[in-house]
Amino acid sequence: MAFKGRPTGSAFLRFSKNHNRQNYNRLMILETFPVGPLQCNCTILGDEETREAIVIDPGDEIARIARRLTELGLKLKQILITHAHIDHVGGALKLKRLTSAPILLNENDLPLLEMMDEQAAWLGVETPEVAPPDESLTDGLTVGLEHYPANVLHTPGHTQGSVCLHFVPLKMVLAGDTLFAGSIGRTDLPGGDSEQIFESIQTRLLALPDETRVVPGHGPATTIGAERRRNPFLRGMN
């Protein structure tokens, strides 16, 4: 769950990066699009050469996500969940069944996963079927693709198991519902802790370079530098 934000448009980015001395371009597929009634940003990241992909936060609209993977000719390797709120995790098991990709979620959010009936009732939607993750997204773990790895930052506060995924070579962080453009995640739901979210943002996210692109769990993308300067919730931090 998040503050309501404007949905981000679908972005198709051809990313080239210099590899060794042959100046050879590796192409990346990166698409972020909002899914479900709460417009959770779902991201597909794929390697055009190996055709391997990961999906982050497939909260809903699994048929659409699976169709897109097929259209792009991508094989799903991992399903990464930033936290166990229904709008982020709701479609994970469905996607796993379609693709056989494992689900990764920080184990501190297991209590939220077990409260799926209650979460569905908050929204007035049907309870999605969920299953425990195949692996915990623990702090410092490297996940993602061989050429596009992500470092897991455990950033509790919005929930106890909230994580951000820092794709170091891409200078990009997928921030889940911890940090938004101009806002931060709510902490009034079970497992939320406002002191902790400030601590997480200050010590883990504001520690990243200003040029780091931030793809939040809802709403438009931003950068660490822009939030450091302008986010009213972060006044007094540096």
Residues near Zn ion (CB under 5 A) are: 1, 85, 177
Please state, in angstroms and rounded to a whole number, the distance separating the CA atoms of residues 1 and 87. Answer: 6
The residue among 99 and 196 lying less far from Zn ion, judged by its C-beta, is 196
Residue number, nearest CB to Zn ion: 85
Q: How far apart are CA 146 and CA 52, in angstroms?
A: 9
From the list 132, 144, 131, 140, the residue with the least C-alpha distance to 108 is 132
Report the alpha-carbon distance of residue 51 to residue 207 in Å, rounded: 32
Measured from the CB of residue 62, what is the shortest distance to Zn ion in angstroms?
18
Give whichever of 99 and 119 is closer to Zn ion, judged by the CB atom: 119
Question: In whole angstroms, how close is the CB of 101 to Zn ion at the nearest point?
Answer: 22
DSSP 8-state class, residue 12:
-
Asked if 200 and 233 count as a contact pair (C-beta separation under 8 A), the reply is no
CB of 233 to Zn ion, least distance (A): 16
Considering the complex, state which of residue 77 and residue 85 has its C-beta at the smaller distance from Zn ion.
85
Least distance in angstroms from the C-beta of 190 to Zn ion: 11
Supply 14's token pair.
Answer: 């051809």
CA 137 to chain centre: 12
* Cβ atoms of 223 and 211 closer than 8 Å: yes
Which of residues 86 and 170 has its CB atom nearest to Zn ion in the complex? 86
Looking at the Cβ atoms of 162 and 212, the one nearer to Zn ion is 162
Residue 206: which residues within 8 A CB-CB, separation 6 or more? 224, 228, 234, 237, 238
Name which of 29 and 86 has its Cβ closer to Zn ion: 86
CB of 189 to Zn ion, least distance (A): 7
Least separation in angstroms between residue 43's CB and Zn ion is 15
C-alpha triplet 4, 43, 5: angle, nearest 5° = 10
